[in-house]
Chain A
């Protein structure tokens, strides 16, 4: 609970810090990118703080690279 409050406080702080600059310069693309990434970050942080297991990107990489890894390590056996 406290963690979620903390995360939301931090994200509001980040938004307040960045938005005036974006509005002043009228940067549309940057604003889109910023908010999409921020929302993604907030969701990830909240899921992590609730101790729900997120699938690990390294596991996918291990799965994708398995044939190649086996080939290289097989050469060096």
Chain B
């Protein structure tokens, strides 16, 4: 065992929520609105239901894992060499995904908040924080989530309360204007941004979570809470901005916060959404980075994963600068290849492991 810390099921729930909200809170409303127009909220509910089914799949896989991480289990079930190869591909998936997260954050900061700062330095600063968190280990950042989560929830509630007076229900009409297909496509994209990205949690659950049975319930309830938060944000974007403006902006939730205006006195509250988003993206990135580093050290059979963090962090910064040449490319990629890429590792890989693992279990019983 490389990691000797254990986290409680409550901390695990907070990690699930923060990972689920992650980037979706800024990016999902735009994608959903461009696909399903004013029916985005229906797609959101559908996506949440699909997400809960996915979490049930992860939970049933967790029954087979006992105290192994996904990478170790791969090796056990698929044999030494094929298992190592699949694990390596899985780690590449985590790593590439982590670099895209860093890009999205750096892009947001350079386009919206600090246009004079070069994107490289934003990325370097952010990656340094992620490395510090990873070096401190799982227990530390899981405990930190208990401190940071109330802030996320509090800022979120402030945002909702202050936007209540701008709501315009005519923006939701007509319902089902474009039929069912756009809604299904939108919900599938939404699942690929949210529930399918929960797969790095299989690197810490159930191996490093204290009470597996309780943790399974936490996994489900965490997904539900995260889904409700995203649903509220999507609804608000459409109710306040209308589906056209939501679809046209890269960061609708940020525009939402800009709309807050209470009697010409309380204005310009964008930092609310910025702080909220920094916390959630940080948690998503750290889970991915931690999963990649831990997995790599388990493949190479190392005794300590902390030595790999700094060189991998260097590579991560460079990757984050080259993954997306520009935002148009990013939008295009996120709505096409990303769907199949995340399905491969978020759905097909756990399914394959579950089926083969169960077959092997039954064989050994006979």
Contacts from A to B (Cβ < 8 Å): 10-11, 14, 17-18, 21-22, 25, 27, 29-30, 33-34, 37-38, 40-42, 44-45, 48, 54, 56-58, 61-62, 65-66, 68-69, 72-73, 76-77
Contact = CB atoms under 8 A, between A and B. Distances in A.
A76 B335 CA distance: 12
A76 B322 CA distance: 30
Given A14-B314, A38-B311, A56-B323, 12 more contacts: A14-B310, A29-B303, A33-B302, A34-B311, A37-B311, A45-B318, A48-B318, A48-B322, A62-B333, A69-B339, A72-B339, A73-B339
A21 B307 contact: yes
Interface stretch (B107-115, B180-188, B275-283): B180-188
A18 B307 contact: yes
Contact of A58 (B181, B310, B324): B324
A41 B307 contact: no
A26 to B, nearest CB: 11
B340 interface: yes
A38 B314 contact: yes
A37 B308 contact: yes
Q: Is the interface of A mostly helix, strand, loop or mixed?
A: helix
Contact of B341 (A34, A42, A61): A61
Interface of B: 96, 181, 184-185, 188, 296-297, 300-304, 307-308, 310-312, 314-315, 317-319, 321-325, 333, 336-337, 339-341, 343-344
Nearest to B304: A30
Q: Is the interface of B mostly helix, strand, loop or mixed?
A: helix
A30 B307 contact: yes
Contacts of A30: 302-304, 307-308
A-B pairs, top 5 by smallest CB distance, nearest first, are A41-B314, A37-B311, A76-B185, A38-B311, A65-B340
Contacts of A17: 310
A33 B301 CA distance: 11
A73 to B, nearest CB: 7
A41 B341 contact: no
Residue with the highest number of chain A CB atoms closer than 10 Å, among B315, B324, B336, B340: B340
Contacts of A18: 307, 310
Given A34-B311, A41-B314, A42-B314, A29 B302 contact: yes
Contacts of A27: 302-304, 307
12 contacts: A18-B310, A27-B303, A33-B300, A33-B302, A34-B307, A40-B315, A54-B322, A61-B337, A65-B337, A69-B337, A69-B339, A72-B340
A9 B302 CA distance: 27
A77 B297 CA distance: 43
B307 A62 contact: no
Residue with the highest number of chain A CB atoms closer than 10 Å, among B96, B311, B325, B333: B311
A66 B333 CA distance: 11
Contacts of B301: 29
A29 B303 CA distance: 9
Nearest to A36: B311
Given A27-B304, A58-B324, A76-B181, A44 B315 contact: yes
A58 B97 CA distance: 10
